[in-house]
Structure 1
Amino acid sequence: MDSKYLQRILLARVYDVAHDTPLDYAANLSRRLKHDVWLKREDQQPIFSFKIRGAYNKMSRISPSVLKRGVVAASAGNHAQGVAMAGKTLGCPVTIFMPITSPEIKVKSVKSFGAKVKLVGDSYAEAFAAADAFRKRKGLRLISPYDDADIIAGNGTIGLEIMRSAKGKLDAIFVPVGGGGLIAGIATYVKSVSNNVKVIGVEPMDSDAMTRSLNAGKRIALKEVGIFADGVAVKLVGKECFRLVQKYVDDIVQVDTDETCAAIKDIFEDTRTIVEPSGALAVAGLKKYCSRLNRNGKGFVAVNTGANMNFDRLRHVSERAEIGERREAIIAVTIPERPGSFAQFCATIGDRGITEFNYRFADEAEAHVYCGVQISSREEGSRLIATLKRNDYPVL
């Protein structure tokens, strides 16, 4: 056991600015999954993200003379807000490098704390390279978003709060994974007090650096990462984070964009709060994990890490949530270009609702139909495709 981390977590300076967030029972989700599900509400922090914990714990331990010169950080958004708020609290000038693709709501929040923002590149890696060059040129301290003992310890206070507040049996804690600082901190604390509670990470399929690294036994750098869950869009996990994850994390679950959107809807239905994609990963992974279990009645916690969602993304999330819940099937079908063929296609679809539709002329012989069809389950979607194929409709 890493006794130094346990001590660091117990002495972490987070509560000058961070809240001991509630552990809320998700009644609707629990009823559907037939397991007790609790949500750790880090979306209720002052910056609507857990990131204030690690950032403040780190910066509060830096000497006043260093803070006076200023600090620099790179982030897609939430770490930037944490550093900016900590800087304002401690009277420290802050410069943040953010990818051009960062959500506007996060950029505005960083600026509201008085930090200088520089938008650079299309990814965290490019923003970090620019921040590191700026640090060297100006002689400033760089605040890592995850690969730092004080950052990890600050995040570990979430694990402390969960273990202290958990009601009834607790079987597993689900944690989003980006660079690894959050799950490293939580897992290190949890395993120091109980080996019976599993710590399970959740990654997007298109940003799976931790999964690949664990499989390889060494850190693997991704060439590209998805940006939908921008809060975890990391090409290379932290060195110290990886060491702790190897030692203490039980499993990693991967989820796709549709499953993440469905989880955003699940959280909304239980809390009336809209979390950002990375903030919903834990619930998405929890649901997937539950689908593999052959018994009910377990107790799970999902860490809702943030709620900094751009409003204009909500329509996209709503549409993809239906697919993630297997309530909509998106199909592309080729039909003959002749009178009556479209009516026959509609008859084959039956009385199912159509959520979207596009008819495109291909040539004199055929046309392409793209449509969204309401379904009640994945099995019904499979039956629909089988029916279309039996009626000689090529499904793409």
Structure 2
Amino acid sequence: MDFVKGAQAAEAAMRAVFPATPLLRNDLLSERYGADIWLKREDLSPVRSYKLRGAFNAMRKARAQVYVCASAGNHAQGVAFMCRHFGVHGVVFMPVTTPQQKIMKTQMFGGDQVEVRLVGDYFDDTLAAAQAYCTSEGAHFLSPFDDEDVIEGQASVGVEIAQQLGGDPDHIVVPVGGGGLSSGLRSYFGPQVAMSFVEPTGAPSLAEALRHGAPRDVSPIDSFVDGAAVAKIGARTFARLSGVAQSDVLTLDEDRICATIIEMLNVEGVVLEPAGALAIEALSEVADRIKGKRVVAIASGGNFDFERLPEVKERAQRYSGVKKYFILRMPQRPGALKDFLGILGPEDDIARFEYLKKSARNFGSVLIGLETTKPENFDRLLSALDEAGFTYTDITANETLAQFVI
């Protein structure tokens, strides 16, 4: 059976387990980019991501009694869901540092069929423990992406897109982590459909593999976009993506992705995880290429922990330029703080203020966070600070300092 027929067979078999995810036209994005833009809403699957597709297809073919995976996120939940469906035993290895919410959701989807084991502080340790367990117990290891049956299962997203549109789209924008979804879509549609592949700046595994001609470990990675933060793309997935042009691979800053999460939540009422927002934010990077075209952006997942919302909002504000942090030298004299406050404009707000006064010093250091309504307000504010003789250092983009003080 060729790949296209295999993906179609996988999609047909899935209908006994869960319905096709919606493909919805988005008026806001269509008007913004002058294109016919549709969102493939994988965030509306039973486990709020596309990962259950690959797990289903691999498990229906393997027919094992015990399945094992190593994951702290969507793959774990997809495997757990399918273990319950097939009535088989699953052992899910997760790092000890996994948030309790993700552990609880995995247990909820798996029920009595799934055992969660917390091993290691880092994923490499977790993976090694899972593979060692498979060797000793004769269990079947389910890769999150580097498996031909998983790739075929993820390609069912493409089967549904073609069915729901009544034909192929002109352009697809897809996030890339380990490459299971992206390689599946590329293999299904072939070169006749233009594709853009999007990675977070902190984990450019596909871009580096293309640059070197083979999968390459890009550690250390930034794990913020956890659904796409993979240090090394799969060997099997890269074999299907190796012909991709480097110009078709886009990398997006993590803070920039946060701005899209906030906009989709506030304007559209759509809850997306960082990886789920990648393709939507990347539309601006291909705006010239998609004008007048029928475009599908893959909203790959919506497993967003709302405890992260303050951080996401913070990063979005910093990226958009409406929030900045400074170390300000404040003269230690009466009225100095009043002088500073008088410089602030009507749209400026103090979000953070920590003043360390030291005796026998002429100046004290102040950590100050300022919010405003539009980025250009900072031009006026900084000019006023210069005229008043204040000395300051902008630390907004200093990631090392930000980890400690922001």
Note if 1:122 corresponds to 2:121: yes
1:278 maps to 275
Q: Equivalences for 1:154-173 in 2 at 5 Å?
A: 154-166=153-165, 170-173=169-172
**Distance in structure 1 (CA, Å) of the matches to 2:35 and 2:384:** 35
Amino acid at match of 2:218: L
Q: Secondary structure at the match of 2:61?
A: coil
Contact 2:345 2:381 in 1 (8 A): no
For 1:209 and 1:348, the matched residues in 2 are separated by 46
**Which residue of structure 1 aligns with residue 349 of structure 2?**
354
Post-superposition Cα deviations, 1:199-228, rounded to whole Å, max 9, x if no partner, equal: 212222222222222222221113322222
- Whether contact under 8 Å (2:323, 2:369) holds in the other structure is no
What's the offset of the Cα at 1:332? 3.7
Shift of 1:82: 1.1
CA deviation after TM superposition for structure 1 residue 58, in Å? 0.6
Distance 1:7 1:345 in 2: 69
Measured in 1, the distance between the counterparts of 2:309 and 2:68 equals 32
Q: Which moved more, 1:39-48 or 1:383-392?
A: 383-392
Q: Tell me the CA shift for residue 160 of structure 1.
A: 2.3
Q: Which residue of 1 aligns with 2:79?
A: 83
Match of 1:14 in 2: 14
Whether the 8 Å contact between 1:206 and 1:225 is mirrored in structure 2 is: yes
Secondary structure of the residue aligned to 1:164 is helix
Taking the aligned partners of 1:62 and 1:52, their CA distance within structure 2 comes to 15
Say if 1:74 and 1:375 are closer, same or farther in 2 by CA, change over 3 A: same
SS of corresponding position for 1:60: helix
Task: Find the counterpart in structure 2 of residue 264 from structure 1.
Answer: 261
CA distance in structure 2 between the aligned counterparts of 1:35 and 1:344, rounded to whole angstroms: 51
Q: Conserved in 1, the CA contact under 8 Å of 2:325 and 2:367?
A: no
For residues 137 and 55 of structure 1, do their structure 2 counterparts lie closer, same or farther at Cα, with a shift above 3 Å needed? same
Measure, in 2, the Cα distance between the counterparts of 1:333 and 1:170.
53
**2:229 and 2:82 mapped to 1: Cα distance?**
23
1:143-186 C-alpha deviation (Å, 9 max, x unpaired): 11000111111111112222333489944322121111111111
Distance 2:237 2:74 in 1: 18
1:10, distance to aligned residue in structure 2 (A)? 1.9
Range 142-151 or range 170-179, more displaced: 170-179
In structure 1, the partner of 2:334 is 339
Contact 1:98 1:119 in 2 (8 A): yes
Give distance in 2, aligned partners of 1:94 and 1:318.
Answer: 37
Q: CA, structure 1 residues 28+385, in 2 after alignment: closer, same or farther (shift >3 Å)? A: farther
Distance 2:386 2:166 in 1: 51
**Equivalent residue number for residue 247 of structure 1:** 243
**Which moved further from structure 2: 182-191 or 158-167?**
158-167
Give 1:245 shift.
1.6
Partner of 2:41: 41
Asked whether the 8 Å contact 2:162–2:168 carries over to 1, the reply is no
Alignment: residue pair count: 384
CA contact (8 A) 1:327 1:374 kept: yes
Closer/same/farther in 2, CA of residues 355 and 306 from structure 1, 3 Å limit = farther
Q: Does structure 1 retain, via aligned residues, the 8 Å contact 2:209–2:215?
A: yes
Of 355, 365, 368, the match for 2:366 = 368
**2:242 aligned counterpart, secondary structure:** helix
Cα gap change, 1:394/1:37 in structure 2, threshold over 3 Å: closer, same or farther?
A: same
RMSD of aligned residue pairs (Cα, Å):
2.7
> Which moved further from structure 2: 80-89 or 296-305?
296-305
Tell me the CA shift for residue 355 of structure 1.
5.3
Structure 2 spans left out of the alignment, 5+ residues? 395-406
The answer (yes or no) to whether the contact 2:161–2:168 under 8 Å persists in 1 is: no
The question of whether the paired residues in 2 share the 8 Å contact of 1:329 and 1:374 is answered with: no
Distance 1:37 1:368 in 2: 47
The offset of 1:32, in angstroms, is 4.1
Q: Is 1:323 matched with 2:318?
A: yes
- Change in Cα spacing, 1:343 to 1:106, as seen in structure 2 (3 Å) is same
Q: TM-score, normalised by structure 1?
A: 0.87
2:233 to 224, 234, 237: 237
Gaps of 5+ in 1: none
CA distance, structure 2, for counterparts of residue 295 and residue 185 of structure 1: 22
Corresponding residue number in structure 2 for 1:209: 205
1:340 is aligned with what amino acid? Answer: G
Say if 1:243 and 1:387 are closer, same or farther in 2 by CA, change over 3 A: farther
SS of equivalent residue, structure 1 residue 247: coil
1:284 is displaced (CA, Å) by: 2.4
Give the match's secondary structure for 1:72: strand
Kindly indicate whether residue 90 of structure 2 is the aligned counterpart of residue 94 of structure 1: yes
CA–CA separation in structure 1 for the residues paired with 2:148 and 2:278: 24
2: distance between equivalents of 1:297 and 1:168? 17
Whether the 8 Å contact between 2:120 and 2:126 is mirrored in structure 1 is yes
